[in-house]
Amino acid sequence: MSGPMLKVENLFCERDDRVLFEGLGFSVDAGEIVQIEGANGSGKTTLLRILSGLSRNYEGEIYWRGEPIDDVRDQFCRELLYFGHQPGVKALLTPEENLRWYCALHPSLDASRVSEALEQVGLRGFEDVPCHSLSAGQHRRVSLSRLYLSDAPLWILDEPFTAIDKRGVAAKEALIGRHIARGGSVILTTHQDLQGSSAVRSINLDQQGGT
Amino acid sequence: MADLLTNAAAEQAQIGPGGLFMATLRRDLMLSLRRKSELVNPLIFFLMVITLFPLGVSPEPGFLAQLAPGALWVAALLATLLSMDGLFRTDFDDGSLEQLLLSPQPLFIVVLAKVLAHWMLSGLALTLVAPVIAVMLFLPAEGMPGLMLSLLIGTPTLSLVGAIGAALTVGLKRGGVLISLLVLPLYIPVLIFGTSAVQAAVTGLPLGGYLALLGALLALGLALAPLAIGAALRISVSG
């Protein structure tokens, strides 16, 4: 299994008559963190949505382990963990119920470790509290606890640290570090500087955009 | 403790399409039951239409009995249609829908489970209260089996077809009116065969043929609608 996990060639995306990126090409190897940088509105979220397969509004080629991504969509979904702009947490369900459903949805999540994961993100004691009475940060923590359950090799994280306190961020960075050490890859956007991880490569979208 | 762990591991290994279906069904039912006001909306609408009908038209029993099959079916159809808009709305707003689309499990299963949960709290509930409400319109007792059976077989089709409209319009801010436009023409066959079944039951004619046609529509809907809903969801989320 040599070669990059994810390879992007000549990616072009236009939104509302504005070119977000053009001729964008990069690859993500196992054990690598790729940080997508750029000003607000530069297309970071759009790029992550394209990479994860949610958005089809692009031109160019994306390869997963050497194969065109559309041919290996099932395999790709199995090996992907996507943390989106919206946390995907149901306000009327408790954190535990939310996670149980995700475990049914995604085979790479380990249902037997749900309570352990909730403890890791500091939600112990909140298992039975409906999420609408949790704070914004706790809300996102519920969704982030999927990272503790997942053994998917590729993580795509869109602003994972928003509304998370300093200690939480440190814990998540450590978690990302462990994931990298296991041979996983992470593509993420964040406005914070990642600390303590050496293998971070940045891709700046500001230089990509045309007019 | 060790036993517990191995059991959990075995359970984990078994989460396949069936497990996902049950998990989604349970989740959606649980969500609806925790939002009581929306839960009773279709039923209240159904009840209101049928209560106001005699006031607006005529309280004469013979006349009402004649109108009853059509009025009941139209009210049930509109009640279902009104509840359709919310089917994927909350999932779209909070990002669950994105996660759902990125699942390696077949989308067909999740969609079917969501529609079933929706039907159980709209179509099935309407079917169960229909006989009580039909009495208010002086529907003869002979018509009751026809009413119940036609609603039981017809309303799932309404939910399935309505879900296609809901999936197509979920990305729009105000999709409610558009759903009606998209979906109403497809509701008409169900309405025609449903009312005919009730009328046949009232007049004592065999209603097997009408029910068979409703059943055929349902079979077609079950096989094709989830695919259409899945494709529509992908388009809506991609946009």
Q: What is the pLDDT of residues B115-125, one digit of tens each?
A: 999 999 999 99
For the beta sheet containing A6-15, the strands, ordered from the edge strand earlier in sequence to the opposite edge, are: A18-28, A6-15, A59-64, A67-68
**pLDDT band at residue B18 under the 50/70/90 scheme:** confident
Taking any CB pair shorter than 8 Å as contact, residues of chain B touching chain A are: 5, 8-9, 11-12, 15, 19-20, 23-24, 27, 30-31, 34-35, 90, 93-96, 98-105, 110, 234, 237-239
Three-state DSSP at B111 gives helix
The total of structural domains in chain B comes to 1
Q: Does B174 or A96 have the greater pLDDT score?
A: A96
Quick one: pLDDT at residue A21?
Answer: 85
pLDDT at B8 over 50: no
Q: Return the bridge partners of B142, or none.
A: none
Q: In chain A, which stretches have pLDDT less than 50?
A: 1, 210-211
pTM: 0.89
Parent domain of B62: 2-238
pLDDT at B7 over 60: no
Query: At residue B11, what is the residue type?
Result: E
- Between A and B, how many residue pairs show a Cβ–Cβ distance under 8 A? 93
Highest mean pLDDT: which of A111-125, B54-68, B143-157, B174-188?
B143-157
- Best A16, A55, A86 member to test B by mutation, with max B CBs in 10 Å, is A86
Query: At residue B19, what is the residue type?
Result: G
Instruction: Classify each residue of A141-164 as buried b or exposed e, where b means 16 or more C-beta atoms within 10 Å of its C-beta.
Output: bbbbbbbbbbebbbbbbbbbbeeb
Write out chain B residues lying below 8 Å of A100, CB-based.
Answer: 23
Write out chain B residues lying below 8 Å of A131, CB-based.
Answer: none
Quick one: pLDDT at residue A208?
Answer: 62
Cα B126 to Cα A141: distance, rounded to the nearest angstrom: 40
B16-21 average pLDDT score: 85
**pLDDT band at residue B113 under the 50/70/90 scheme:** very high
One DSSP character per residue, chain A reads --S-SEEEEEEEEEETTEEEEEEEEEEE-TT-EEEEE--TTSSHHHHHHHHHTS----EEEEEETTEETTTTHHHHHHTEEEE-SS----TTS-HHHHHHHHHHH-TTB-GGGHHHHHHHTT-TT-TTS-GGGS-HHHHHHHHHTHHHHB--SEEEEESTTTT--HHHHHHHHHHHHHHHHTT-EEEEE-SSPP-S-S-EEEEESTTT---
Three-state DSSP at B61 gives helix
Average pLDDT of chain B, as a whole number? 89
Q: Tell me: the pLDDT tens digits for B141-164?
A: 999 999 999 999 999 999 999 999
Cα A168 to Cα B160: distance, rounded to the nearest angstrom: 43
Write out chain A residues lying below 8 Å of B99, CB-based.
Answer: 82, 84, 88, 102, 105-106
Put simply, whether A129 touches B (Cβ < 8 Å) is: no
Quick one: pLDDT at residue B65?
Answer: 92
B35-61 average pLDDT score: 90
Write out chain B residues lying below 8 Å of A85, CB-based.
Answer: 95
B195 Cβ neighbours under 8 A, 6+ residues apart: B69, B70, B73, B150
Q: What is the ipTM of this complex?
A: 0.87
B5-28 average pLDDT score: 69
Quick one: pLDDT at residue A209?
Answer: 53
